[in-house]
Amino acid sequence: MTMPHPRTACNRSPSPPLSQSPTTNGQHPAAIFLTNEPIMTELTCQQCEQLATELALKMLSDCQRARVLAHLAGCSSCRDTACALTTIADQIIELLPNVQPPAGFEQRVRTALAQLRDQRHL
């Protein structure tokens, strides 16, 4: 499994070394993501394991994905777990039949989502 540099996902250039960057507070540079976000801590193995399934299913936000990939870059145990889950997810997807949704499906989903959004704003 090829893992891109964690900064790529958040469109931010690499930070200077820790010794030159007072904003990292001694944290690994991969713990810093967006200029407007507070400093994020690195994930623990337990946190990474909780997100590994969503990573395998490509359901994480860009910054969540970047945090997981930063952890995986230095943790072979979590990397093995994520690779195994990704392989399983890919195999399951290959088993699905290649069918188109029924006519009007997309519009029904959009309508239902709009109704849910409107209900939340009441």
Domain count, the chain: 1
Cβ contact 29:18 at 8 Å: yes
Separation between Cα atoms, residue 26 and residue 32, nearest integer Å = 11
Give the structural domain span for 35.
8-120
pTM (2 d.p.): 0.51
The answer as to whether 13 is a domain residue is yes
| Residue with token string 């001694």 | 26
Q: Residue 13 corresponds to which tokens in the numbers above?
A: 């250039």
Pick the range with the lowest mean pLDDT from 2-11, 44-53, 59-68, 95-104. Answer: 2-11
Separation between Cα atoms, residue 1 and residue 3, nearest integer Å = 6
Q: Residue 7 corresponds to which tokens in the numbers above?
A: 């900064």
The answer as to whether 3 is a domain residue is no
Separation between Cα atoms, residue 82 and residue 62, nearest integer Å = 17
Separation between Cα atoms, residue 48 and residue 39, nearest integer Å = 18
Give me the pLDDT at residue 109, please.
Answer: 93
The answer as to whether 94 is a domain residue is yes
| Residue with token string 């930063």 | 70
The answer as to whether 2 is a domain residue is no
The answer as to whether 99 is a domain residue is yes
| 89 pLDDT higher than 90 | yes
**For the chain, how far is it from start to end, CA to CA, in angstroms?**
45
Give me the pLDDT at residue 122, please.
Answer: 64
Residue range 45-57, pLDDT digits in tens: 999 999 999 999 9
The answer as to whether 71 is a domain residue is yes
